[in-house]
Amino acid sequence: MILMQDIYKTYKNGVTALNGININIDQGEFVYIVGPSGAGKSTFIKLMYREEKPSKGKIIIGEKDLSDLKEKHVPFLRRDIGVIFQDFKLLPKLTAYENVAFALEVIEESPKVIRKQVMEVLEMVGLKNKARMIPTELSGGEQQRVSIARAIVNKPRIVIADEPTGNLDPETSWEIMELFEEINARGTTIIMATHSKEIVDRKKKRVIAFEDGVIARDEQRGEYGYEV
C-alpha cells in the first residue's frame, strides 16, 4: 500500500511542486500518472523512493512511515521499490548481466543467488542471449529491458517508472508495456508517469492527473485527457 496524506513540496528555490496531495494506492494496482509538463509528476514519484522529501505531510510505503525513516534505512526502502527511468541509467562499462547483478551485489546477496536470479530475470525480459553485451551494443528497447530487469531482480513489491517509453519508438514501447503488464500480473504495483496518450487510452487503467501540483483527476479505467 502507498499512502500520501496532505503532501506539500516546495524546492529550495521557492518553487512549490506539490500543493496538498492525498492518495491511496493498493498493492497490485497499475496506475498511470499524467498531466502537463511541470505539473509535479516526477516530484510525486521521487517522494516515493525518497529521492526527495516532502516539505509537509505523511507518506507510508508498505509498512514504512517515511517521516521517521532514518537515512541509514533508505536502502531497505529501495529494496521494496524498483525504479525505471526514461534514459535507462545503466552503467556504461558493465555488461547487461553485470548491470543487473550490481543491484544484488550492493545488498550483499550470495554469488549463487545472484547468478540464479540475474539469469532468471534476463530470460524474463528476453535478453538471455545478450547478457554479455554492454549498453552501447544494445538497442534502446533492449537497454530499457536491462533496466527493467535491474529494477525487478530484487522482487520489489512496487515498480515506479518515470516516462519509461519516452525514448522509444511506438512498436518498442508496446513491447515494453507488455513487460510491465506481465510484472503487474505477478502482483507488483506499477506506477508509471507518461506523456503517451496512445498507451493510456489503449490500456484502460487507473489514471491520476496532476495539474499545478494538485490532483485534478483520479479515475479507474481513465483516459489521458489532454490534447497532444
Ligand X SMILES: Nc1ncnc2c1ncn2[C@@H]1O[C@H](COP(=O)(O)OP(=O)(O)OP(=O)(O)O)[C@@H](O)[C@H]1O
Residues that bind ligand X (CB under 6 A): 11, 13, 15, 17, 35, 37-43, 210
Nearest C-alpha neighbor of 153 from the set 189, 107, 193: 107
Residue 144 makes CB contacts below 8 A (sequence gap 6+) with 84, 88, 164, 165, 167, 168, 172, 176
Least separation in angstroms between CB 61 and ligand X: 18
Distances (CA, A) of 87 to 111, 115, 181, 201: 29, 26, 20, 24
Name which of 40 and 156 has its Cβ closer to ligand X.
40
Name which of 11 and 226 has its Cβ closer to ligand X.
11
Least separation in angstroms between CB 57 and ligand X: 15
C-alpha 110/C-alpha 29 separation (Å) is 32
Least separation in angstroms between CB 8 and ligand X: 12
Least separation in angstroms between CB 27 and ligand X: 24
Only one residue has cell 521499490, namely: 81
Name which of 6 and 137 has its Cβ closer to ligand X.
6
Name which of 6 and 182 has its Cβ closer to ligand X.
6
